[in-house]
C-alpha cells in the first residue's frame, strides 16, 4: 500500500511540475514596423553621408628620411609645383614620411608619379592608404 501511495504521489508531482505549451507567447508584428525600420535606415543614410569622408585609396610616398630639412624642402617643392595635391607629413621617430594626394585608383596616382619624376627621381612610389574623399 505504501508503494502504491508513493507511486501515486510521484505521478501527481510529475504531472504538477510538467511544462506545457499553454504558456507559450505568440507575437504578432504589425507590417508597418518594417516600413518604419526601412524609413529610419534611409534617414540615417542621408544624414551621415556627409560625415563619411574617408575611404580606401592610394597616395604617393615621396620621401622617407630622418633628415627633417630634406623632407620640408620636398614639401615646399610640392606645394609650389602641384598646389592641387594635398600633402601629408607623418613623423614616426626617427623618420619623416611625406605622402601626397588622395587617389581612388593606383592608375590616377601613377600619372602624378610620372609628372613628379623630374623633381624626385628616386624613392617615390604609390602606397595603399586611407584617403579623404569629398562628400557628393
Report pLDDT digits (tens) over 68-108. Answer: 999 999 999 999 999 999 999 999 999 999 999 999 999 99
Which pLDDT value is given to residue 134? 75
Report pLDDT digits (tens) over 32-77. Answer: 989 999 999 998 888 776 666 788 999 999 999 999 999 999 999 9
Q: Which residue has the higher pLDDT, 3 or 93?
A: 93
Nearest of 118, 119, 121, 104 to residue 59 by alpha carbon:
104
Which pLDDT value is given to residue 21? 58
The pLDDT confidence band at residue 23, using thresholds 50, 70 and 90, is: confident
| Domain over 54-132 is classified CATH 3.40.50.880 | no
Q: Which residue has the higher pLDDT, 122 or 111?
A: 111
- Taking the C-alpha atoms of residue 56 and residue 81, their distance in angstroms, rounded to an integer, is 26
Other beta carbons within 10 angstroms of residue 125's beta carbon come to: 11
Which pLDDT value is given to residue 136? 57
- Taking the C-alpha atoms of residue 73 and residue 88, their distance in angstroms, rounded to an integer, is 14
Q: What percent of the chain has pLDDT over 90?
A: 56
User: Which residues touch 57 (CB under 8 Å, ≥6 apart)?
Assistant: 102, 103, 104, 105, 128, 129, 130, 131, 133
**How far, CA to CA in Å, does 69 sit from each of 44, 62, 120?**
47, 14, 15
Is the bond leading into 94 cis (omega within 30 degrees of zero)? yes
- Cα atoms in the Cβ-side hemisphere of radius 13 Å centred on 129: 19
What's the grid cell of residue 70?
Answer: 630634406
- Taking the C-alpha atoms of residue 116 and residue 100, their distance in angstroms, rounded to an integer, is 11
pTM exceeding 0.75 = no
The pLDDT confidence band at residue 10, using thresholds 50, 70 and 90, is: low
Amino acid at each position: 500500500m505504501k508503494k502504491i501511495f508513493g507511486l501515486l504521489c510521484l505521478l501527481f508531482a510529475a504531472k504538477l511540475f510538467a511544462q506545457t505549451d499553454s504558456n507559450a507567447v505568440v507575437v504578432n508584428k504589425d507590417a508597418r514596423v518594417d516600413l518604419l525600420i526601412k524609413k529610419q535606415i534611409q534617414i540615417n543614410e542621408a544624414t551621415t553621408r556627409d560625415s563619411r569622408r574617408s575611404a580606401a585609396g592610394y597616395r604617393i610616398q615621396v620621401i622617407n628620411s630622418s633628415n627633417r630639412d630634406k623632407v620640408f624642402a620636398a614639401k615646399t617643392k610640392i606645394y609650389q609645383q602641384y598646389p592641387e595635391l594635398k600633402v601629408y607629413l607623418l613623423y614616426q621617430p626617427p623618420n619623416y614620411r611625406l605622402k601626397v594626394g588622395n587617389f581612388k585608383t593606383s592608375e590616377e596616382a601613377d600619372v602624378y608619379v610620372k609628372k613628379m619624376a623630374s623633381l624626385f627621381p628616386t624613392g617615390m612610389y604609390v602606397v595603399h592608404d586611407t584617403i579623404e574623399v569629398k562628400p557628393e
